[in-house]
Copies of this chain bind each other. A is one copy, B any other.
Amino acid sequence: MTEKLELLEEHKSFDGVQLKYRHYSTVLGCNMTFSLFLPNKEKFETPPLVWWLSGLTCTDDNFTHKAGAQKKAAELGLAMLMPDTSPRGDDVADSADWDLGQGAGFYVNATQEPWARNFRMYDYIVTELTEIARDTFGLTGPESIMGHSMGGHGALVIGLRNTGRFRSISTFAPIVNPMEVPWGVKAFDAYLGTDRESWPEWDATKLLAEYDGKQIPILIDQGTGDGFFVMQLQPEKLSDIATEKGYPMTLRMQAGYDHSYYFIASFIDEHLEFHQKHL
């Protein structure tokens, strides 16, 4: 059941409302915050819901503060739900590295200690936060999912593993093949174990190669000035498979843009319009 939500912030934003909540997550075993934008409820009674999954080191605040997405979401009548990127707190395992532990949940269900007790971001999003969205906020309409970097990985994995649930997926500079890049290998070694047996089910490139579900459209933007592009991201690995399979995926190389929220802000309106077409 949904635990009690504590309202931390409420701001009128365009003609909608930007909210931030804290709640105890039974899936993660700790307190969590999330942010939620709701368009004008007089105009949009059951708005479609677009999920946003953030990247390494982020909380639910980064996209909420920096992406400038509320204007277009208000105009199109889209709700947006921004989870945090990992379990948090003094009682939750962590590492000294910014790319492992708190702030770096990688949207998997960890099976290895000391992570297995709390690091279940996949279940948290797919079940617990979904239930809150539907039961508490009445967001029972169609859904899409998007994300950035580690959150792009999360959006692709969650979208492809829940066939039929999401109408569209979009990502900015996603980690598409975590099994084969340093960030992903480090996280999967820790969270999933070094035997690699379970890794493919958390790897968008592997999932797409085996995918035979409903073909939901995927949009990927990648900046050519992104310092992580070559070593960590490699979105062409995913688009090559899409091309082979005739899967509807658009990879746009955006000249000169980096890995920051300035890049996200520059194209977020187009992503929301892309989702709106399918919602």
Which A residues fall within an 8 A CB radius of B? 11-14, 18, 65-66, 68, 70-71, 223, 225, 256-258, 260-263, 265-266, 269
Contact = CB atoms under 8 A, between A and B. Distances in A.
A257 B266 CA distance: 25
Given A65-B65, A66-B65, A262 B71 contact: no
**Main secondary structure on A side of the interface with B:** mixed
Nearest to A267: B14
A97 to B, nearest CB: 24
Nearest to A74: B266
B68 A18 contact: no
A12 B225 contact: yes
Contact of A262 (B11, B223, B225, B265): B11
Contacts of A223: 12
Given A12-B223, A13-B262, 8 more contacts: A12-B258, A12-B263, A14-B265, A68-B70, A70-B262, A71-B265, A71-B266, A71-B269
Contacts of A261: 65
One complex includes copies of this chain to the number of 2
A12 B257 contact: yes
A258 B12 CA distance: 7
A206 to B, nearest CB: 32
Given A65-B66, A66-B65, A11 B71 contact: no
Contact of A68 (B71, B256, B258): B71
A257 B12 CA distance: 5
B256 A12 contact: yes
A18 B65 contact: no
27 contacts: A11-B258, A11-B262, A11-B263, A12-B223, A12-B225, A12-B257, A12-B258, A12-B263, A12-B266, A13-B266, A14-B265, A14-B266, A18-B262, A65-B65, A65-B66, A65-B261, A66-B66, A68-B68, A68-B70, A68-B71, A68-B265, A70-B262, A70-B265, A70-B266, A71-B265, A71-B266, A71-B269
Contacts of A256: 12
